[in-house]
Amino acid sequence: MASERSGRVRGIVETVVRSVLPVVLALIAGGIILAALGKNPFVFYGAIVENGIGGTNWEDSLVMMAPLLLIAVGLIVVFRGQLWNLGSAGQYLLAAVVVTGIGPWALKTLPAALAYLLLAVAGAATAAVWTLVPAWLKARFGTNEIITTLVMSTIGAGLTNILIENVFQDPELNTPQTSEIPIADMLPFIPGTQVHVGFVVAIVVAIVFQVILSRTSFGLRLDVFGASPKAARHVGISSKRMIVLLFVISGGLIGLGAAMDMMGEWGYLRSNWNPHYGDAMIPFVFLARLSPVGSIPFVAFYAVFATGGTIASQQTGLSVDFLSVIVALILIFMTITEYVGTKRRLGQSYLPDELKNTVRIPFARLASRSAA
């Protein structure tokens, strides 16, 4: 009994250290930066909470969670295979321009339910197809997917602008943007709220993929492949097929997130707009230990932080770029915490080698200098 309790306590401590502490440290460091800029950190953080969940503001945060959670699950799937999909921005934008480009026609021509399904599939398929080039290059030639996904993301963003200005441009406007999906035709709200049903879709997808990754043979094969591609080949798992499949699933979920965002929140897409949702989600999916359901509270935290932080920044005369600084600090402290935690045997590392090496090398150099 005592050993069981001790194990539970140790598990709680490990969870706090690896998941909560980096966020706390980032907020503290952010507070110090705010103070250095002459801003009151307590007032700023208080304004974030008030504008993120106060009154009916919590509804805005839940609306933002819909695309964020779907993108997070998409990243989790590919990251669990020890692969990097850093092209989420281009995949999101291409899916968004397709959805908003054909959305007004689809919703005017087809029954609403069929139109929503068509647009969701179109968004998911567009983003999934955009991952095929880096997936094929990785599977066929072992090309570094970090480079290829970033390149494809840049191309995707440029292609999005071309499609907006030359194919889907709203003829009634001079501003380069797609035609708007009428407000009356956008996704319906959850009864009694101003939160569209895309939020429910995101929660269901997270739960479904939690089951798939933890209780199915596919999840087991994915874990084996992520642990060792060589071992996976020995047990009959095709590395090439797994790579392509993981990228397609990842892109499809990112595209689905774009579809929910366009059909439920924005209704149109403007040239040169890029929310960079995927970049913001990277540290949080690792804090969640690459668990779809575990990522829900972290995505909720960021949604509140981004929703309330945008307004708080305007109120305090601070650039909204400060929010990106906090996300970067979370990533830094997460990596440092993981490095220290692994050294102190708090458990097996859950970060990819590329991320751990960002602090391992500087720490090793520092240690050698101290010894000298």
Q: What is the pLDDT of residues 58-69, one digit of tens each?
A: 999 999 999 999
Q: What is the pLDDT of residues 252-298, one digit of tens each?
A: 999 999 999 999 999 999 999 999 999 999 999 999 999 999 999 99
Q: Are 292 and 207 in contact (CB under 8 A)?
A: yes
What is the per-residue pLDDT for 293? Answer: 96
Q: Is 23 exposed, middle or buried (0-12, 13-18, 19+ CB in 10 A)?
A: buried
Q: Are 258 and 123 in contact (CB under 8 A)?
A: yes
What is the per-residue pLDDT for 372? Answer: 46
Q: Is the pLDDT of residue 357 over 60?
A: no
Q: Is 358 exposed, middle or buried (0-12, 13-18, 19+ CB in 10 A)?
A: middle
What is the per-residue pLDDT for 337? Answer: 83
AA letter at 59: E
What is the per-residue pLDDT for 338? Answer: 78
Q: Is the pLDDT of residue 222 over 80?
A: yes
What is the per-residue pLDDT for 3? Answer: 63
What is the per-residue pLDDT for 165? Answer: 94
Q: What is the pLDDT of residues 179-208, one digit of tens each?
A: 999 999 999 999 999 999 999 999 999 999
Rounded to the nearest integer, the mean pLDDT of the chain is 90
What is the per-residue pLDDT for 364? Answer: 47
* More confident call, 12 vs 290: 290
What three-state secondary structure class fits 196? strand
Q: Is the pLDDT of residue 352 over 90?
A: no
What is the per-residue pLDDT for 362? Answer: 44
* More confident call, 249 vs 315: 249
Q: Is the pLDDT of residue 366 over 50?
A: no
Which of 28-37, 122-131, 334-343 shows the lowest mean pLDDT across its residues? Answer: 334-343
Q: Is the pLDDT of residue 215 over 50?
A: yes
What is the per-residue pLDDT for 17? Answer: 75
Which spans in 170-216 are helix H?
198-215
- Residue boundaries of the structural domains of the chain: 61-286
Report long-range pairs for 294-301 (Cβ below 8 Å, ≥24 apart): 295/69, 295/72, 295/73, 295/76, 295/206, 296/69, 296/203, 296/206, 298/19, 298/72, 299/65, 299/68, 299/69, 299/72, 300/61, 300/65, 301/23
Best-predicted range by mean pLDDT among 49-58, 228-237, 349-358? 49-58
What is the per-residue pLDDT for 14? Answer: 75
Provide mean pLDDT across the span 241-254.
Answer: 97
| Confidence band, pLDDT 50/70/90 cuts, at residue 353 | low
